[in-house]
Structure 1
Amino acid sequence: MSTSNDAAGLAALSICESLLLAMNDRGLLPENEIVGVLRDAAAPHENTIDTEPDAEIHRAVAALINQIIAGGNSVRRPPA
């Protein structure tokens, strides 16, 4: 990926995370729905066939989305 594509991807990710946080803060989407949205986003990338030309990037995308789910980045959770 080129630097401009990397920047565009990071910008899109930041915007989407901010939107998910805002929707949760406003009570528009509960945490379980936000996690569902993220899982739905990861699913097609997880199901990539090894022979596809971009299989490696798809797996990286799925791994990143799953890290966001695990880390709770898109939902404000109270400290443990």
Structure 2
Amino acid sequence: MSTAREHAGQAALSICEALLLALNDRGLLPEHEIVGVLRDAAATHENAVGAGPETENHRAVADLINAIIAGGDAVRRL
């Protein structure tokens, strides 16, 4: 069963994706910089210090961001 926190995370991801696409569509941020933003976000979670479930959550977030980069669909609509 989904939780309110999961819904909030999905909403945030959708909003951020829409913003990045809009920035690219309007020529305000080129694709390579969008990928850079995503890589920075992934690195933040990869380098997060914690223990137990907190570390696992950061790892999962980093993995998801890296999958978005690898898939390319979110930023490569050229």
Q: TM-score range by the shorter chain?
A: 0.7 to 0.9
Counterpart-to-counterpart distance in 2, 1:39 and 1:7: 23
Percent identity between the aligned chains? 71
How far does residue 44 in structure 1 lie from its aligned partner after superposition?
1.5
Aligned residue number for residue 69 of structure 2: 69
Counterpart-to-counterpart distance in 1, 2:51 and 2:31: 33
Q: Which TM-score applies when normalising by structure 2?
A: 0.88
Aligned residue number for residue 48 of structure 2: 48
Cα shift readout 1:38-67 (whole Å, capped 9, x = no counterpart): 011111211134x52400000000000001
Structure 1 gaps, min length 5: none
Counterpart-to-counterpart distance in 2, 1:43 and 1:34: 14
Aligned residue number for residue 57 of structure 1: 57
Structure 2 gaps, min length 5: none
Paired residues in the alignment total 76
Residue 74 of structure 1: SS of its match in structure 2?
coil
Q: Quick one: which amino acid aligns to residue 15 of structure 2? A: I
Moved over 6 A (4+): none
Q: Which TM-score applies when normalising by structure 1?
A: 0.86
